[in-house]
Amino acid sequence: MNHLTVGQRAPLSNLTIDYTASITLKFTRQSPIEMDISCFALDAAGKLINDDYMSFYN
């Protein structure tokens, strides 16, 4: 399991999983805070592939 801190960014390529794996996010709230989750598909240059490859949850 990987733990992220507030504001941290983490490429999925760091997770040693294959591209068909499911990813589950679990949050433990210690105080009333707002959370935003964003996922982007980037090319080898780190640029967004297409607007269709953006996901946001808040």
Please give the full DSSP string across 43-57, using - where no structure is assigned.
-TTS-BS-GGGEEEE
pLDDT at 34: 72
Look up the pTM and report it. 0.47
pLDDT at 43: 86
pLDDT at 36: 74
| β partners of residue 42 | 48
Q: Which residues of the chain have pLDDT under 70?
A: 1-2, 15, 17, 31, 57-58
Q: Is 51 helix (H, G, I), strand (E, B) or coil?
A: helix
Residue with tokens 């953006």: 54
